[in-house]
Structure formats: C-alpha cells, structure tokens
C-alpha cells in the first residue's frame, strides 16, 4: 500500500513538473523566440560555417537517388541539356533496372514537377488502380475474414501499374530531350548488367522465399538456386527488351502492345488484370496541396496520398510552439511532435481515400483553425488510444519504395516517390518481360478495422472498388521561401514516410540543419496504432527515459526512411544529401 502511494505521488510530482516546465516555455513570446534564433544564427555566422556534417554542393544541377548508376544517368541527361523532367524520367527507368526491389515499371507513384518559368507545381498521380475484376470482398473469405497473404504475395496483390504512363505523361508535359534518348541508359544497364552490391544482396536474401516461388523470377535473380550475391552480375535481358519496346512505341507498348499481351496472359489463370484494365489506365494531374509553416510554403502530394494532408496538418499544430528553443530531438520536442502525429493518424484512418470515389475533407484537415482545436487536446503527458479501436498490426518491416529528387540549371525541379509497395512487390515477374509486379492492393483497407502491412488502419473510404486508387503515404514535397524554391525532398518508408518527410521539413525550417545533418538526425515515429513511440538507435537513452516518464512506450527498431534531398540556397548553390540508410544512394551535381 505504502509503495503504491510513493509511486503515485512520484508520478503526480513528475507530471506537475513536466506541466510546469512545458507551460513556462510555451509562454515564451514570439519576439523572445525570434531574438534567440537570431542570436544563435549570428554567433554561428561569426564562427564560420556551423555545419557538422557537409552536404554535396553544386552550382548548376543535381540528382539524388538510391543508386549511384541511376544518379549518374540523371546527371548525364542534365549535362546534355535535358531538364529536370528529362533527368527524372531517365532516373526512374534506370532505377527500375538497378534498384529492382523498389524502382519499377510494374508499380506506380507520384511526381511533383516545378516549372520555374511559369511558377507552377504539377502533381502527377500515376498510382495503381484496382482492376475491373476486383471488389470489396476480393481479399476476404466467405465469412468475412482477411485471406492471409492474398494482397501481398499473389497475382491478386497487383493493381494496374501506372509508372510507364506517368513517366510518359510527365515527359510530354515538360520534357525536352527525345524520349528514346532518356530511356537508352536504362536499356544499356539492363542489357550489360551491373554488379550486385552488398545492400542488394541483403535485400535479395531477405526476400528469397518470396522471389524463389516463381520460375521467371528465379531465372533473373537466382544463380545455382540461390539469390545473387555481392559481386555477381545482374543482367536483365527481358527487361531490356521491354524497355526497348517502350522506347520505340511509348507507353502504348505497355498498355496496348506486346507488354500488355504478356501481362494479360500472366494474369489470365487468375482472372485478375486484363487488357481492358491496361487500356483503361489513366494518369491524373492534380492540384498539389499547399500549406505554410513559419513563413515557408510547402507544396505536397494531395490524395490519394495521405502524406500531404497529414504533414501539413502536423506542421499546423506544431507551428505554435518554439521547437527550436526546446531543441532538435529533445524529449519535449519529440513529445509534442508525436502527440500531433497521433492525432493525424486517427484522421488518416477515418477520412482518407481516393478523392475520385470518396469526399476527403482536405480543406478542413489542413486548416489552421482545425489545428487550433487539435492542439488543445495535447497535454504534457502521452495521450491514450481510446479514440480508436486497437487493430492487429501485421509485423512487417518493408522499406522498399524509393524517392529521388532533381534540380536543373534553370531552377526547375522534380520530386518523385514510386513503388512496388513491398520489397520486390509480389515477387512475380511477368513471363518474357523482366517486369516485377507490385502488391499495392494491400494499401487498401481490405476490411475496416484490420491493419495492412504497415499497421495502418482504414475505413470504408479506402475500401477496394473497381478503378479506385489505394490510399498512399508517399509524400514527394517542395518547400518554397520568398517565392523561391528552397527544398526538394521525399522518402520511402510505408506509414513512416509521413513522419520522415515531416522531420526533414522541420529539421530544415525549424532547426536550421543542412540536408546532410537533417538526414543524419535520428528519426522518431508514432502512428497511434500500434501504440508505441518508435525511435532509431542513435536517440539518447536520457531522452528515451524522459519520454517514458511522459507515458510513452518507447521502442527502438530498424531505421526509418531513406530521404533524397536537395536544398536550393538563395544564391543558387545547391546542397544535396542521399540518405546513408541505403549506402548505395548517391548525390551527384555539377
């Protein structure tokens, strides 16, 4: 009994202390806060460049991607007079060859393209769609239970791919160089092959059972019945053939021609994607979402990505607090950040879906007034999950989407996140094409209240419907300052994309870190369900203990995200960083 009292009074004492501490700093006036910031920046300037880790600098153009060979393709295109769109299309096709776990032509994604002359940001949606044969019961047993694995590792896991149509659309709108010229480097890489890196060896070996089930897949990624190893040459002759057809006939080859025939033949025994589905596929150009944070403007992907909505929503909540003064990755900053994240993920599960099928209250979700309401719910102690029914999150750790960023010498920029969803998608190569298929159907809410592979919950708003795009978290982003492009960023990471991109934006605007420092900083994540505050290894144990005292269940797990970022300084100098969470990534500029 006595012991209980001691624990209880210690608890009360502590929460009182935390509350008192938070209130005192929350009441710091804006003026004081800006004075502190100005003083710190002035002293940094006095001491010289305050950076501790340096980005790569360039004057004219820059490409940042998850593979050196793909970044090289982009850089060559820029140097040959191509613009950011040309380079991005070249990089996307090259990544389909050299980053087979995530780069793709059998998947889908989103592109933001900034046209400097016209001061316009295009948001190009080439997300996969549910085929004509799909319906809301496609992944359920007769009794309404979710069929284990059907949306992950079978032919039914694939949505109708959008990548090839999306890249052609972007190039037709804004490219300069001939289509063939920008695809040629990818054809060469597929034809001649490239060396498997230690990172790719690890990915192949982790996915050996997924890939090993299909003969056409084994023929490419296995040697002597084992996945390829570091130093082996990965040659993809069929993929080179498919790319050649796309170079010659454009996206038509994929959606109506020879490749379409092969995809339909592969799918026929399963009665899933048909030629009709491929012919019907449409790229959609959307208005980006715009938000503001402390004088900066953010342009970001709208639904069917949830990323833009929730990054702006979280920034709106956080804008009222002097995070810079509280310190980057201090327990107090992390606490307020993750409490805001939790509120956003509740809304994600409830409201978000394909805007062509359901009405998503975007304006309300990203309004400053709504953020004022939400901020009132945040206290110095960790909130509970009471508002949402706990689900049964699937313990899956895929990090296999990919992002790349490009800026050209005119100041145009492209930010692309595209994916097969899980590592190597469903692991199925369409026979005779070398093309790996996505497993994006798992991003639908297969059954309201049942989590997907990222532990994400959904409602009827994200149920499977013919022609519908599954809800995504992919968040290619631009930040502007004084009407000038300031930052290009994005990341893979499933549910963690939203919080990773959020932290990149905060690390830049709020904490004044250069792209390399912003990338290296330890990341945190909370999506309410599961109710755990996930942190990366380098977060200090002192900070973790303070977070535990606030009531958080802190877990240290695998790294989160692989950001690819370019900062554009007011004098035009570019600073780039490729996330070393994938050591194959590379930033290249000239």
How many whole angstroms from its chain centre is CA 536? 17
Q: Which is nearer to ligand DON, 333 or 439 (CB)?
A: 439
Per DSSP, 60 falls in state S
Q: Print the binding letters for residues 430-459 with ligand DON: x by CB under 6 A, - otherwise.
A: ----------x--x----------------
Candidates 398, 489, 499, 578: give the one binding ligand DON (CB under 6 A): 398
Q: Which is nearer to ligand DON, 435 or 568 (CB)?
A: 435
Task: Provide, rounded to whole angstroms, the least separation between the CB of residue 170 and ligand DON.
Answer: 18
Task: Provide, rounded to whole angstroms, the least separation between the CB of residue 585 and ligand DON.
Answer: 14
Task: Provide, rounded to whole angstroms, the least separation between the CB of residue 40 and ligand DON.
Answer: 35
Q: Which is nearer to ligand DON, 373 or 397 (CB)?
A: 397
Q: Which is nearer to ligand DON, 112 or 544 (CB)?
A: 112
Please state, in angstroms and rounded to a whole number, the distance separating the CA atoms of residues 60 and 589.
Answer: 7
Q: Which is nearer to ligand DON, 151 or 419 (CB)?
A: 419
* Residues 6+ positions from 478 with CB-CB distance below 8 Å: 112, 114, 121, 298, 299, 300, 413, 415, 485, 486, 487, 488
Q: Which is nearer to ligand DON, 83 or 462 (CB)?
A: 462
Assess 154 for contact with ligand DON (CB under 6 A). no
Question: Strand, helix or coil at 500?
Answer: helix
533-535 and 554-556 strand pairing: parallel
Q: How many CB atoms lie within 10 A of CB 385?
A: 13
Task: Provide, rounded to whole angstroms, the least separation between the CB of residue 331 and ligand DON.
Answer: 27
Contacts with ligand DON in 467-496 (CB under 6 A)?
Answer: 472-474, 492-494
Residue positions annotated with a catalytic role: 401
In 3D space, the residue among 270, 263, 258 whose CA is nearest the CA of residue 161 turns out to be 263
Please state, in angstroms and rounded to a whole number, the distance separating the CA atoms of residues 535 and 148.
Answer: 29
Strand residues in 46-166 grouped as ranges (E):
56-58, 62-65, 108-115, 120-126
Candidates 65, 154, 419, 582: give the one binding ligand DON (CB under 6 A): 419
Please state, in angstroms and rounded to a whole number, the distance separating the CA atoms of residues 63 and 68.
Answer: 10
Assess 497 for contact with ligand DON (CB under 6 A). yes
Number of residues lying near ligand DON (CB under 6 A): 15
- Residue 118, classified by CB atoms within 10 Å of its CB into exposed (0-12), middle (13-18) or buried (19+), is exposed
Please state, in angstroms and rounded to a whole number, the distance separating the CA atoms of residues 52 and 511.
Answer: 14
Task: Provide, rounded to whole angstroms, the least separation between the CB of residue 273 and ligand DON.
Answer: 18
Q: Which is nearer to ligand DON, 347 or 443 (CB)?
A: 443
Ramachandran assignment for 554, one of left (phi > 0), alpha (psi -120 to 50 degrees), beta (any other)? beta
Q: Print the binding letters for residues 355-394 with ligand DON: x by CB under 6 A, - otherwise.
A: ----------------------------------------
Please state, in angstroms and rounded to a whole number, the distance separating the CA atoms of residues 495 and 471.
Answer: 11
Candidates 22, 125, 128, 399: give the one binding ligand DON (CB under 6 A): 399
* Residues 6+ positions from 460 with CB-CB distance below 8 Å: 358, 445, 448
Task: Provide, rounded to whole angstroms, the least separation between the CB of residue 399 and ligand DON.
Answer: 4
Task: Provide, rounded to whole angstroms, the least separation between the CB of residue 497 and ligand DON.
Answer: 6
Residue with tokens 């100005």: 38
Please state, in angstroms and rounded to a whole number, the distance separating the CA atoms of residues 319 and 310.
Answer: 14
Residue ranges that bind ligand DON, judged by CB under 6 A: 398-401, 419, 421, 440, 443, 472-474, 492-494, 497
């Amino acid at each position: 009994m006595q012991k209980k009292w001691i624990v209880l009074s210690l608890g009360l004492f502590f929460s009182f202390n935390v509350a008192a501490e938070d209130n005192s700093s929350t009441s710091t006036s804006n003026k004081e806060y800006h004075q502190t910031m100005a003083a710190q920046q002035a002293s940094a300037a006095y001491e010289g460049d305050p950076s501790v880790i340096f980005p790569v600098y360039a004057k004219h153009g820059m490409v940042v991607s998850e593979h050196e060979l793909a970044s090289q393709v982009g850089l060559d295109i820029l140097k040959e007079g191509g613009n950011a769109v040309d380079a991005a299309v070249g990089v996307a096709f090259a990544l389909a060859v050299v980053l087979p776990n995530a780069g793709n032509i059998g998947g889908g994604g989103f592109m933001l393209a900034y046209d400097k002359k016209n001061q316009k940001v295009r948001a190009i949606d080439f997300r996969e769609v549910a085929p004509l044969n799909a319906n809301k019961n496609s992944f359920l047993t007769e009794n309404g239970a979710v069929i284990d694995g059907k949306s992950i590792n079978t032919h039914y896991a694939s949505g109708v791919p959008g990548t090839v149509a999306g890249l052609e659309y972007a190039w037709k709108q804004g490219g300069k160089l001939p289509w063939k010229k920008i695809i040629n480097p990818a054809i060469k890489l597929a034809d001649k092959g490239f060396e498997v890196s230690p990172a790719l060896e690890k990915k192949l070996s982790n996915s050996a059972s997924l890939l090993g089930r299909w003969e056409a897949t084994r023929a490419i990624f296995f040697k002597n019945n084992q996945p390829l190893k570091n130093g082996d040459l990965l040659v993809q002759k069929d993929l080179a053939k498919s790319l050649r057809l796309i170079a010659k006939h454009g996206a038509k080859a994929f959606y109506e021609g020879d490749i379409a025939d092969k995809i339909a033949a592969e799918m026929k025994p399963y009665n899933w994607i048909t030629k009709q589905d491929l012919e019907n596929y449409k790229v959609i150009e959307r208005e980006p979402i715009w938000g503001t944070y402390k004088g900066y403007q953010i342009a970001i992907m709208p639904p069917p990505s949830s990323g833009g909505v929730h990054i702006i929503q979280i920034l709106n909540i956080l804008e009222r607090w002097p995070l810079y003064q509280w310190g980057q990755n201090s327990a107090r900053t992390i606490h307020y950040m993750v409490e805001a994240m939790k509120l956003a993920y509740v809304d994600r599960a409830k409201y978000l879906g394909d805007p062509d099928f359901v009405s998503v209250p975007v304006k309300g979700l990203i309004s400053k007034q709504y953020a004022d309401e939400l901020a009132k719910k945040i206290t110095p102690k960790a909130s509970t999950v009471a508002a949402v029914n706990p689900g049964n999150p699937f313990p899956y750790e895929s990090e296999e989407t990919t992002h790349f960023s490009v800026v050209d010498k005119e100041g145009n920029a492209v930010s692309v996140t595209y994916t097969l969803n899980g590592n190597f998608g469903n692991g199925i190569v369409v026979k005779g094409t070398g093309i790996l298929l996505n497993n994006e159907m798992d991003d639908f809410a297969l059954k309201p209240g049942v989590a997907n592979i990222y532990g994400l919950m959904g409602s009827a708003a994200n149920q499977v419907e013919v022609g519908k795009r599954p809800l995504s978290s992919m968040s290619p982003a631009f930040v502007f300052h004084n009407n000038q492009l300031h930052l290009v960023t994005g990341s893979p990471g499933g549910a963690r994309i939203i919080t990773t991109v959020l932290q990149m934006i905060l690390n830049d605007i709020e904490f004044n870190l250069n792209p390399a420092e912003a990338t290296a900083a330890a990341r945190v994540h909370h999506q309410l369900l599961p109710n755990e505050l996930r942190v990366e290894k380098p977060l200090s144990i002192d900070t973790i203990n303070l977070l535990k005292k606030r009531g958080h269940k802190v877990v240290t797990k695998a790294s989160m995200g692989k950001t690819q970022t370019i900062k554009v300084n007011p004098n035009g100098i570019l600073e780039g960083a490729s996330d070393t969470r994938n050591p194959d990534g590379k930033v290249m500029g000239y």
